[in-house]
Amino acid sequence: MIWLISGIGLWIFAHLYQRVLPAHRAALIERWGVKRVKIAIALVILISIILMTIGYLQSELIYLYALPVWVWHLNNAMMLIALFLMEIGRVRGMVRSKIRHPMLVAVILWSIAHLLVNGDLPSVLLFGGLGLWALGEMALINITEGAWKRPEPGRWINDLKILAVASVIYGVVVGIHYGLDHPVIALLW
Protein backbone atom coordinates (compact mmCIF):
# COMPACT_ATOMS: atom_id res chain seq x y z
CA MET A 1 0.00 0.00 0.00
CA ILE A 2 3.05 2.21 0.13
CA TRP A 3 2.62 3.06 -3.58
CA LEU A 4 -1.00 4.05 -3.04
CA ILE A 5 -0.21 6.22 -0.03
CA SER A 6 2.80 7.76 -1.81
CA GLY A 7 0.63 8.59 -4.83
CA ILE A 8 -2.02 10.25 -2.67
CA GLY A 9 0.68 12.22 -0.86
CA LEU A 10 2.23 13.41 -4.13
CA TRP A 11 -1.22 14.37 -5.48
CA ILE A 12 -1.96 16.44 -2.37
CA PHE A 13 1.48 18.07 -2.41
CA ALA A 14 1.29 19.00 -6.10
CA HIS A 15 -2.17 20.52 -5.72
CA LEU A 16 -1.50 22.40 -2.47
CA TYR A 17 2.01 23.55 -3.42
CA GLN A 18 0.92 26.88 -4.92
CA ARG A 19 -1.25 27.84 -1.94
CA VAL A 20 0.86 26.48 0.91
CA LEU A 21 4.32 27.46 -0.40
CA PRO A 22 3.73 30.53 -2.60
CA ALA A 23 7.16 32.06 -1.87
CA HIS A 24 8.93 28.82 -2.78
CA ARG A 25 6.90 28.54 -5.98
CA ALA A 26 7.69 32.17 -6.88
CA ALA A 27 11.42 31.53 -6.34
CA LEU A 28 11.23 28.38 -8.46
CA ILE A 29 9.47 30.32 -11.23
CA GLU A 30 12.20 32.95 -10.99
CA ARG A 31 14.85 30.25 -11.56
CA TRP A 32 13.07 27.92 -14.00
CA GLY A 33 10.36 30.03 -15.59
CA VAL A 34 6.59 29.55 -15.46
CA LYS A 35 6.45 26.95 -18.22
CA ARG A 36 9.02 24.62 -16.65
CA VAL A 37 7.39 24.88 -13.22
CA LYS A 38 3.99 24.00 -14.70
CA ILE A 39 5.52 21.06 -16.56
CA ALA A 40 7.26 19.87 -13.37
CA ILE A 41 4.01 20.04 -11.37
CA ALA A 42 2.12 18.27 -14.17
CA LEU A 43 4.76 15.51 -14.11
CA VAL A 44 4.40 15.16 -10.34
CA ILE A 45 0.63 14.86 -10.76
CA LEU A 46 1.08 12.26 -13.52
CA ILE A 47 3.49 10.28 -11.33
CA SER A 48 1.01 10.49 -8.45
CA ILE A 49 -1.77 9.07 -10.65
CA ILE A 50 0.51 6.23 -11.79
CA LEU A 51 1.50 5.46 -8.19
CA MET A 52 -2.12 5.56 -7.01
CA THR A 53 -3.20 3.25 -9.82
CA ILE A 54 -0.39 0.73 -9.28
CA GLY A 55 -0.82 0.90 -5.52
CA TYR A 56 -4.59 0.46 -5.69
CA LEU A 57 -4.39 -2.49 -8.09
CA GLN A 58 -1.65 -4.24 -6.09
CA SER A 59 -3.06 -3.63 -2.61
CA GLU A 60 -4.42 -6.50 -0.59
CA LEU A 61 -8.20 -6.30 -0.29
CA ILE A 62 -9.04 -5.94 3.39
CA TYR A 63 -12.80 -5.55 3.65
CA LEU A 64 -14.02 -3.04 6.21
CA TYR A 65 -17.73 -2.76 5.44
CA ALA A 66 -20.45 -3.66 2.96
CA LEU A 67 -23.49 -1.49 2.30
CA PRO A 68 -26.83 -2.65 0.85
CA VAL A 69 -27.09 -3.29 -2.89
CA TRP A 70 -29.42 -0.30 -3.41
CA VAL A 71 -26.49 2.10 -2.83
CA TRP A 72 -25.29 1.19 -6.35
CA HIS A 73 -28.18 3.27 -7.69
CA LEU A 74 -27.15 6.17 -5.47
CA ASN A 75 -23.57 5.70 -6.67
CA ASN A 76 -24.66 5.91 -10.31
CA ALA A 77 -26.70 9.08 -9.76
CA MET A 78 -23.85 10.71 -7.82
CA MET A 79 -21.38 9.86 -10.57
CA LEU A 80 -23.51 11.52 -13.23
CA ILE A 81 -23.80 14.63 -11.05
CA ALA A 82 -20.03 14.57 -10.39
CA LEU A 83 -19.26 14.41 -14.12
CA PHE A 84 -21.68 17.28 -14.74
CA LEU A 85 -20.05 19.42 -12.02
CA MET A 86 -16.57 18.58 -13.26
CA GLU A 87 -17.35 20.32 -16.56
CA ILE A 88 -19.81 23.04 -15.49
CA GLY A 89 -17.05 25.51 -14.61
CA ARG A 90 -16.13 25.74 -18.29
CA VAL A 91 -19.34 27.46 -19.39
CA ARG A 92 -21.48 30.40 -18.33
CA GLY A 93 -24.63 28.69 -17.18
CA MET A 94 -27.02 28.98 -14.27
CA VAL A 95 -25.43 26.26 -12.12
CA ARG A 96 -21.94 27.78 -12.32
CA SER A 97 -23.24 30.93 -10.64
CA LYS A 98 -24.49 28.87 -7.67
CA ILE A 99 -21.44 26.74 -6.79
CA ARG A 100 -18.05 28.22 -5.91
CA HIS A 101 -15.97 25.05 -6.34
CA PRO A 102 -17.75 22.80 -8.85
CA MET A 103 -14.71 20.64 -9.65
CA LEU A 104 -13.84 20.06 -6.00
CA VAL A 105 -17.49 19.31 -5.17
CA ALA A 106 -17.36 16.83 -8.07
CA VAL A 107 -14.33 15.13 -6.51
CA ILE A 108 -16.13 14.90 -3.16
CA LEU A 109 -19.22 13.38 -4.80
CA TRP A 110 -16.98 10.99 -6.78
CA SER A 111 -15.26 9.98 -3.55
CA ILE A 112 -18.47 9.41 -1.61
CA ALA A 113 -20.03 7.50 -4.51
CA HIS A 114 -17.05 5.15 -4.66
CA LEU A 115 -16.95 4.71 -0.88
CA LEU A 116 -20.59 3.62 -1.00
CA VAL A 117 -19.77 0.64 -3.20
CA ASN A 118 -16.16 -0.14 -2.23
CA GLY A 119 -15.74 -1.02 1.43
CA ASP A 120 -12.14 -2.25 1.28
CA LEU A 121 -9.10 -0.57 2.81
CA PRO A 122 -7.40 0.47 -0.47
CA SER A 123 -10.65 2.13 -1.62
CA VAL A 124 -11.09 3.92 1.70
CA LEU A 125 -7.52 5.22 1.44
CA LEU A 126 -7.82 6.28 -2.20
CA PHE A 127 -11.33 7.69 -2.38
CA GLY A 128 -11.40 8.91 1.21
CA GLY A 129 -7.99 10.53 0.83
CA LEU A 130 -8.91 12.37 -2.35
CA GLY A 131 -12.26 13.42 -0.86
CA LEU A 132 -10.52 14.83 2.20
CA TRP A 133 -8.00 16.59 -0.06
CA ALA A 134 -10.88 18.26 -1.95
CA LEU A 135 -12.50 19.42 1.30
CA GLY A 136 -9.17 20.81 2.50
CA GLU A 137 -8.51 22.49 -0.84
CA MET A 138 -11.93 24.20 -0.72
CA ALA A 139 -11.29 25.44 2.82
CA LEU A 140 -7.84 26.73 1.88
CA ILE A 141 -9.17 28.55 -1.20
CA ASN A 142 -11.95 30.12 0.86
CA ILE A 143 -9.45 31.31 3.47
CA THR A 144 -6.84 32.65 1.04
CA GLU A 145 -9.20 34.19 -1.50
CA GLY A 146 -11.92 35.47 0.84
CA ALA A 147 -15.52 36.02 -0.11
CA TRP A 148 -16.71 34.58 -3.40
CA LYS A 149 -17.77 36.96 -6.13
CA ARG A 150 -20.51 35.05 -7.94
CA PRO A 151 -20.19 35.08 -11.70
CA GLU A 152 -23.09 36.45 -13.67
CA PRO A 153 -25.55 33.66 -14.43
CA GLY A 154 -25.58 32.43 -17.97
CA ARG A 155 -28.21 30.53 -19.89
CA TRP A 156 -29.75 27.18 -18.94
CA ILE A 157 -29.00 25.90 -22.43
CA ASN A 158 -25.30 25.93 -21.56
CA ASP A 159 -26.00 23.76 -18.51
CA LEU A 160 -28.02 21.38 -20.67
CA LYS A 161 -25.15 21.09 -23.15
CA ILE A 162 -22.79 20.16 -20.32
CA LEU A 163 -25.34 17.66 -19.01
CA ALA A 164 -25.43 16.04 -22.46
CA VAL A 165 -21.62 15.85 -22.56
CA ALA A 166 -21.56 14.47 -19.00
CA SER A 167 -24.12 11.83 -19.98
CA VAL A 168 -21.95 10.67 -22.88
CA ILE A 169 -18.86 10.55 -20.66
CA TYR A 170 -20.92 8.69 -18.04
CA GLY A 171 -21.86 6.10 -20.67
CA VAL A 172 -18.20 5.63 -21.60
CA VAL A 173 -17.18 5.29 -17.94
CA VAL A 174 -19.93 2.72 -17.32
CA GLY A 175 -18.80 0.81 -20.41
CA ILE A 176 -15.22 0.80 -19.16
CA HIS A 177 -16.28 -0.40 -15.70
CA TYR A 178 -18.35 -3.21 -17.16
CA GLY A 179 -15.57 -3.97 -19.62
CA LEU A 180 -13.15 -4.48 -16.72
CA ASP A 181 -15.23 -7.50 -15.73
CA HIS A 182 -14.80 -9.01 -19.18
CA PRO A 183 -12.48 -12.07 -19.02
CA VAL A 184 -10.05 -10.72 -21.65
CA ILE A 185 -9.72 -7.35 -19.90
CA ALA A 186 -9.34 -9.10 -16.52
CA LEU A 187 -6.30 -10.98 -17.89
CA LEU A 188 -4.63 -7.67 -18.74
CA TRP A 189 -5.07 -6.44 -15.17
| Band of residue 88 on the pLDDT scale cut at 50, 70, 90 | confident
Distances (CA, A) of 67 to 14, 39, 55, 156: 33, 41, 24, 36
Q: Any residues with CB less than 8 A from the CB of 14 and at least 6 apart, and which?
A: 41, 44, 45, 48
pTM score of the predicted model: 0.86
pLDDT at 181: 59
Contact 64, 124 (CB under 8 A): yes
Maximal CA-CA distance, the chain: 55
Integer Cα distance of 127 and 133 in angstroms: 10
Per-residue pLDDT, averaged over 136-163, amounts to: 90
Residue 184 has pLDDT above 50, yes or no: no
